[in-house]
Structure 1
Amino acid sequence: MEQASSYVKPMPVSPKHNGRKQLFENSFLERLTRTHILVPIGIFTTFAIALIYYGAVFKELTLLSIVLPFLVGILVFTLVEYLVHRYVFHMLPDTPVKADIQYKFHGVHHEYPKDKDRLAMPPVLSATIISLLFGLFYLIMGEYAFGFTAGFGLGYGSYLGVHYIVHAFPPPKNFLRILWINHSIHHYKDDDVAFGVSSPLWDWVFGTLPKKG
């Protein structure tokens, strides 16, 4: 009979309200881990607009064949955001390699949540990922990939904007307030809930909404 694992999840890191962490000794690699938030938002927004324009003008796609995949792309992004945050960024660091990956990808953000230069993927990585995703989606769904990838990319750009607002500004007095509250709970109270940043939809579906009261 296989022995039960003795692994115990480590205590959450204690958030620091200022400062930043150096991840790499090499200055070039360290620089690649940082970016101003407007750069990746600009990359994903420009890519989305370019895909819609190219699909409409050069591929002569109908409005319906762009708009419907676009909306599905946004919805699918919110699901991917939730799953990656929950199962990749918060994977159990039960080996040294996984612990190192988890910390560099996301743990450092929990330790230094106010470090504004680490609230998004670096530009080179952002551009590479959205380009590869478009290629993958095109293989799967053909010309519907123009609208779908545009929606997916704009969904990510919106996520970046919401994430930045949550960490850089006081609680807003509009519809973003609930997102601000949920993400603050995730960072400062219970990192096993509120994995959705741009939307609470999948937390509601999978039962990981913060408990009231």
Structure 2
Amino acid sequence: MKPNHKGSAQLFKNPVLEKMTRTHIAIPITIFLVIATGLIYYGITHSFISILEAVGFFFLGWFIFTLIEYLAHRYVFHMDTSTPSKARFQYLVHGNHHDYPKDKKRLAMPPVVSILYASAFFFIFKVIFGTFVFGVVAGVLFGYAMYLLVHYVVHAYPPPKNFLKQLWINHSIHHYKDHEKAFGVSSPLWDYILGTMPKRSR
């Protein structure tokens, strides 16, 4: 199937499950931004973190998300599909997007899954960072919201005539030329570091 095919994949025969796989991009972005803001506010007003700590750990969380984004895209979304179950899972979470990249309602996980992600991030990072979790997870979730926003506009709008144009170019290369390059959507940082940045043509 051509990667620029218009339309939408049918993931489930059950109409309820099928409908739950679609969402307007504004819904998960809003969920993550509201939770991130709430975490910062709660952490500061209940004296779990100071304002300076909140700012510092927020940016640390955002930085951590760029690595999570890269690793998830490279090793989960593009996982080995050597068995039928792996192939089915990979198609559900990402393969359908490569077949139908213009399907705007499948550019983000459904809201229920988004909330589960946010909860998992909080409990995992609570073990690692203690009370600083309020800043770290706020940064992680903000990074996720920015990833969703960038991913949406890259697919929905033509590239801008500024420094952000490179994000459009990188993601187009990933979709239409080389699936094993340009795994970073919101940032090319880890593609540079880990050697998966597409080579520029002269």
Question: Offset at 1:24?
Answer: 0.2
Unaligned runs of 5+ in 2: none
Name the counterpart of 1:39.
27
- Partners of 1:66 and 1:171 lie apart in 2 by 34
Pair 1:84-2:72 in alignment: yes
How does 1:144-159 map onto structure 2 within 5 Å?
144-159=132-147
Paired amino acid for 2:126: Y
Q: TM-score under structure 2 normalisation?
A: 0.97
CA deviation profile, 1:142-174 (whole Å, cap 9, x unmatched)? 110000000000000000000000000111122
Which of structures 1 and 2 has the bigger CA Rg?
1
- Residue 189 of structure 2 is matched in structure 1 by 201
SS at structure 2 position matched to 1:108: helix
Runs of 4 or more consecutive aligned structure 1 residues displaced over 3 Å after TM superposition: none
1:135 aligns with 2:140: no
CA contact (8 A) 2:48 2:132 kept: no
Deviation at 1:60, TM superposition (A): 5.2
Distance in 2 between residues matched to 1:180 and 1:170, nearest whole Å: 8
Superposition RMSD in Å: 1.0
Partner of 1:3: none
- For each residue in 1:32-52, what CA deviation from the matched residue of structure 2 results, as whole angstroms up to 9, or x when unmatched? 111000000000000000000
Letter in 2 for 1:125: V
Count of residue pairs the alignment pairs up:
201
Residues 1:14 and 2:2 aligned together: yes
SS across alignment from 1:209: coil
- Which residue number in structure 1 is paired with residue 178 of structure 2? 190
1:163 aligns with 2:151: yes
Letter in 1 for 2:184: G
Q: Which residue of 2 aligns with 1:61?
A: 49
**Range 174-183 or range 150-159, more displaced:** 174-183
Task: Name structure 1 gaps, 5 residues minimum.
Answer: 1-12
- Between the two proteins, what is the percent identity of the paired residues? 58
The more displaced of 72-81 and 129-138 is 129-138
TM-score by length of 1: 0.92
